[in-house]
Amino acid sequence: MSWLQRIRKTVGGFLLVIAGILFILLPEINYLLLIAGLVVYLLIYGIRMMIYYFTMARLMVGGKSILYKSVILLDLAMFTATLTTLGPVYLIIYLVGAYAAAGAVDILRSFEAKKLDAPEWKIKFATGLFNVIIAIAAAVSGILMRSTEIPAYIYGGGLIWSGITGIASAFRNTRTIYIQ
């Protein structure tokens, strides 16, 4: 992992921790803030990937996957933006769904890593499982208690945890294949 990657991971982790704290402390505006942040992130990521496709990746074997990823990211950004007009319950469902999906992806990637004998599969699996459990807990408590505050606390706690694990992984030793 390069220094810039470590810095990015650390900054990203701190932002997640701050977002989690805001989520717990400011229940009125927190959903909108988070949705806005998510939209900006997805837009920038999607546009960057699309530029990469048209300048470089369109010429490579299997390069279309970069285009598909960029289109999906931009679609997701636009869809996320439309959610701001809905009530907080729908936003919670969406955020919880997105959180669960991210957890599921982590679990699937951990299986892939395990298949490839990569030693980091355990941490990936634990992180993914935790995210899924948090998402389920937030959804169930919200539905059972008929409250938007409880899932907000759980969700905020989950964000703080993700931020901390992100910061921790930034300082983890990584190894690179030596090419000669």
Contact positions vs another protein (CB under 8 A) = 1-5, 52, 55-57, 59-63, 66, 113, 116-119, 174-180
| Residue at token pair 């496709």 | 53
Report the C-alpha gap between 128 and 158 in whole angstroms.
11
CB of 120 to another protein, least distance (A): 9
CB of 58 to another protein, least distance (A): 9
- Rank residues 62 and 85 by Cβ distance to another protein and give the closer one: 62
Q: Give the nearest distance from C-beta 106 to another protein in angstroms.
A: 16
State which residue, 19 or 66, has the beta carbon closest to another protein.
Answer: 66
Distances (CA, A) of 85 to 32, 81, 82, 149: 10, 9, 6, 19
Q: Which is nearer to another protein, 89 or 108 (CB)?
A: 108
> If DSSP codes are grouped into helix, strand and coil, which group holds residue 158?
helix
Q: Amino acid identity of 48?
A: R
